[in-house]
Amino acid sequence: MTDYTALAQGYIDVWNETDADKRRALVEELFTPDALFTDPIGSVRGTAAIDEFIGAAQAQFAGLEFSLGGTVDGHHDQARFTWHLGAPGAAEPLAIGFDVVVVEDGRIARVLGFLDKVPS
């Protein structure tokens, strides 16, 4: 049985890891080798492309952190959760999103991302 909250937190941790080598190792541990990531900004496949996508987002939003925006809901090898992006300790997040992940053998095989609030 998958611990969906731990999986979602691991996903958030990957987005917050700024050391490129550590982030790449976390991506390879968390995602299947041919995982698909799709959101309104882009669509990439494979751990190398996902790692590059995350690195580019970190460069664009330097100094900001991701966090879970509430409880994680999961069943039948899929989970959904809201995330926040903002300055550490800020009361209001700069961006809010909603992701659905599909799990295979305990690892993320697909991410379907949606943006609910984006910076102007």
- pLDDT tens string 16-34: 999 999 999 999 999 999 9
Token pair listed for 34: 């041919």
Residue 13 to residue 24: CA distance in whole angstroms? 12
**Is residue 27 packed enough to be buried (19+ CB in 10 Å), middle (13-18) or exposed (0-12)?**
buried
Token pair listed for 90: 């800020």
pLDDT at 7: 96
**Is residue 81 packed enough to be buried (19+ CB in 10 Å), middle (13-18) or exposed (0-12)?**
buried
Tell whether the model's pLDDT for residue 89 goes beyond 90: no
Residue 27 to residue 66: CA distance in whole angstroms? 16
pTM confidence score: 0.94
pLDDT at 1: 59
